[in-house]
Structure 1
Amino acid sequence: MHNHVRSFAAQIAESCLADLDEVAWRYVHDVREISGYLDSVIDDAELFRAARGSLEMLFGLIIGDDLDAQLMAHSDRLGRRRARQGIPLDSLLRAVRMDFRFLWNAMRGYVAEEDLPAFAEEVVKIWDAVEVHTMNVHAGYMAELADMDRELELARAFLLRRLLEDGSRDIRLSRQAAESLGLDPVGSFLVVVGSLPFAAEFRAGMRTLLPAVPVDRLDGSEFAILDVGSLSARELEALHALPVGLPPIAQGAEEIGDLWRVARDLAALVDAADRAATLDRHWDRLFTDRLGAVAGAYSRQTLEALHALPEREQSLLIEAVREYLANGSVTRTAAALYCHRNTVLNRLTRFALATGLDPTVPADAGAIRIVLSGAGPRSASAPAPA
């Protein structure tokens, strides 16, 4: 009995295949009733071709044919194409699952009244064929979305590289790249680069503070390009609490590349997860790093006489100078170091005699910051007790 029913269903499916074009056009009419399948997106001719391919495959599965790979791949191709066309997934799956009702009704038209009980026993076979089709369509759709996302990422990376690396050499390139990225070529921008050791804190902070702003990655750096005009004063202030390199504001797309590089250098100087590295606070270390061997040679030459002193005395003098440069007041320096102000003045004088640079002279103060920054890690001259 089971074999008889199976051959009966196969016979009905073969009858449907003989009238495939007519059946496919009826399917097109039914699909047009589904939201998301407007003819402005997919015309009737394309919908007919897709329906014909799907029905041919489904009838073949019901018959039990050994379908070739091209026909079996139809479901995957259909899902991928609909993803490219922007058909919503729920609309697509409703159309595909409609295949069961449609197949049942289409085949029902070829069944005599007395054969209906035998035909009804084939419901599982028809449903299984539709489920295979549905799963393959869904898989193809999702795979194509993933491919589209990768393509968008590659395209965005190409535009970012053009903006950040090539743009500074050609204003036209930077402005074209900015426009393609949805940025105003003559706008004002702030480029923030996350500190690598605090990458998780950076991403979490950006999601909380500016969830709509994309965080990009290029050459190992995670960063965001912010339109200053769209930022509130609170948001600008909050950026200083993130572990980022925070450069000056770029005026126009052509400055973004240079300031991105500054932001990357500053991000490497972040030493806490909750405070940005800025040019006003870190300019000496930034310049020293960029000067490289030149800064090291200048530092060694300037500090040569100082290094001839006992190590403890060196540490006391450098401690006093750094504290004084940080606050600009002998009184506040004495309070911070728990010593008399005359002791501070004495140490500043001895430093000036040894190096030729006077911390109390503004013109010398900047040079001293570079010299001390080029001397190596701050821990090499850590504060000692007074």
Structure 2
Amino acid sequence: MHTPELPEDRWRELVNRLRGSLPRMQDEFVERVAKVAEYSDEAVSLPDLRETAAVSIGLIIDALSGKQHYPRMLHFGSELGTRRARQGLSADAVMSAVRLDFPVIWSTLLEEAEDEDAVLLASRAADVWRVVEDYAHAARSSYIETRSQMAQEEAGVRQKFIAALFGAQGRLQETRERFAKTFEVPSECPYEIAAATGRGAEQLRSMANLPNRRSRIFTYEAEDYVYVFWPEAGSGVRTPDMRAELRSVPCGLAWAGGGLKDLPAAARISAALADLADPLHPGPSTVETDWPRLARTRMDSIGVELGAVLARQLGRLREDERERVKETVECFLRSGSVSAAADELYCHRNTILNRLRRFREMTGLDVTVPVQAARVVVACS
């Protein structure tokens, strides 16, 4: 009398049959994975693919036959994740390839099975999928950990190069040329550099760290400032329109016209301008737009308080007259034209001239004389 096979026995028999089909499954896996975009570019050699297919499918078959084989399968999955990360493949490409093990193994199982095995296969489908997913999870976890380590290593190397550029070594042409060669940027083309603190610093970091721009946008941090610098538009290096993006960032923006050798000096200027930035009115402060405030800040810091002196001199006027005189002087300084000031303030040009004369009487400064006008511009900033 024939004794029917138990489901467990029949399952082990089907799994054992898979081993005889391993070469065919290896070929099918390689054919399928070649259609994954990054693999089709020969990022991974054919011998590597074939060996990986044979080992991974063999280990998954072992794991299907018994839990005691799990550790070897998971160990190989971890090694594979690390290797693929070092080869530069994306996580999506790696996972797409790894999960191909399931359709390859399952389709072969279906070919090996008999019609009466349908119920058994239906009950085991989840088990096959779970084993492949455990293998994929091991590969993914290792991949992510390795990529994180690689990013840290890369960031460390990158920051060493940048720190050298801003330190004493940056005065050496060799240092600048090594930086330019390493990051594939020009050494002598103009650069722009932005500096910020507080909220502006966070915005600069976010802008610089977007994945599609890290290779051409560089970040440097010193003291309380975050600096971001990049080759100026038109230098032959494709960079985003950073000036447009900086319109929402309270920061200082300076120009290194001589290239990398001028960056340290430009950084000092951008930091000084960052101190003038107004968080309530975002946008970059530049030498062109804020030189009077920059000059006044520097002069105040050494005790030359032009603004305080001017305020004391005008303080002898009645409040209403003082405000009219100040308004007229500031309006005149914007254009240098008596007629333009008269039109803007809706009054006769003689009124403008009288107020300018009154200002000269109180301060000793004639704003129609350029050198004296410059002093008033700085004092009023």
Counterpart Cα distance in 1 of 2:42 and 2:341: 78
**1:256 matched to 2:271:** no
The 8 Å contact of residues 295 and 370 in structure 1, kept in 2 or not, is answered as no
Match of 2:232 in 1: 227
Counterpart amino acid of 1:286?
A: L
| Cα distance, 1:31–1:38 mapped onto 2, change above 3 Å | farther
2:359 to 351, 355, 368: 351
Match of 1:65 in 2: 67
Give the CA deviation at 1:43.
Answer: 6.5
| Cα distance, 1:104–1:65 mapped onto 2, change above 3 Å | same
- 2:184 aligned counterpart, secondary structure: coil
Give the CA deviation at 1:260.
Answer: 3.7
Question: Which stretch shifts more, 96-105 or 210-219?
Answer: 210-219
Deviation string 1:296-320 (CA, Å, 9 cap, x unpaired) is: 5354346543334444444333322
Counterpart Cα distance in 2 of 1:355 and 1:249: 38
Counterpart Cα distance in 2 of 1:97 and 1:137: 10
Give the CA deviation at 1:368.
Answer: 2.0
Deviation string 1:166-195 (CA, Å, 9 cap, x unpaired) is: 675444333432333321102123335679
**1:100 matched to 2:102:** yes
- 1:348 aligned counterpart, secondary structure: helix
Match of 1:137 in 2: 139
**1:126 matched to 2:117:** no
RMSD: 4.9
Match of 1:339 in 2: 347
Counterpart amino acid of 2:370?
A: P
1:101-250 equivalences under 5 Å are 101-103=103-105, 120=121, 122-142=124-144, 144-145=146-147, 147-149=149-151, 151-164=153-166, 169-192=171-194, 217-219=219-221, 221=226, 223-230=228-235, 239=244, 242-243=247-248, 245-248=252-255, 250=257
| Cα distance, 1:134–1:256 mapped onto 2, change above 3 Å | same
Give the CA deviation at 1:283.
Answer: 0.6
Question: Which stretch shifts more, 191-200 or 127-136?
Answer: 191-200
Match of 2:47 in 1: 44
Match of 1:307 in 2: 315
Counterpart amino acid of 2:181?
A: E
| Cα distance, 1:71–1:223 mapped onto 2, change above 3 Å | same
| Cα distance, 1:154–1:354 mapped onto 2, change above 3 Å | farther
Counterpart Cα distance in 2 of 1:127 and 1:211: 39
The 8 Å contact of residues 190 and 228 in structure 1, kept in 2 or not, is answered as no
- 1:179 aligned counterpart, secondary structure: helix
Where in structure 2 are there 5+ consecutive unaligned residues? none
Counterpart amino acid of 1:74?
A: F
Match of 1:318 in 2: 326
Counterpart Cα distance in 2 of 1:199 and 1:148: 25
User: TM-score normalized by structure 2?
Assistant: 0.70
Counterpart Cα distance in 1 of 2:92 and 2:245: 44
Give the CA deviation at 1:282.
Answer: 1.2
- 1:359 aligned counterpart, secondary structure: coil
Counterpart amino acid of 1:263?
A: S
Counterpart amino acid of 2:354?
A: N
Match of 1:383 in 2: none
Deviation string 1:66-124 (CA, Å, 9 cap, x unpaired) is: 45757524323322321321346565445433423554577799x79799668746444
| Cα distance, 1:88–1:294 mapped onto 2, change above 3 Å | closer
Give the CA deviation at 1:276.
Answer: 5.1
Counterpart Cα distance in 1 of 2:63 and 2:264: 58
Question: Which stretch shifts more, 25-34 or 331-340?
Answer: 25-34
Question: Which stretch shifts more, 182-191 or 93-102?
Answer: 93-102
- 2:230 aligned counterpart, secondary structure: strand
The 8 Å contact of residues 189 and 227 in structure 1, kept in 2 or not, is answered as yes
| Cα distance, 1:88–1:277 mapped onto 2, change above 3 Å | closer
Match of 2:289 in 1: 281
Where in structure 1 are there 5+ consecutive unaligned residues? 374-386
Counterpart amino acid of 2:302?
A: V
Give the CA deviation at 1:133.
Answer: 2.0
User: TM-score normalized by structure 1?
Assistant: 0.70
Counterpart Cα distance in 2 of 1:60 and 1:87: 27
Counterpart Cα distance in 2 of 1:150 and 1:344: 64
Counterpart Cα distance in 2 of 1:197 and 1:318: 34
Question: Which stretch shifts more, 214-223 or 254-263?
Answer: 214-223
Counterpart Cα distance in 2 of 1:315 and 1:193: 36
Match of 2:337 in 1: 329
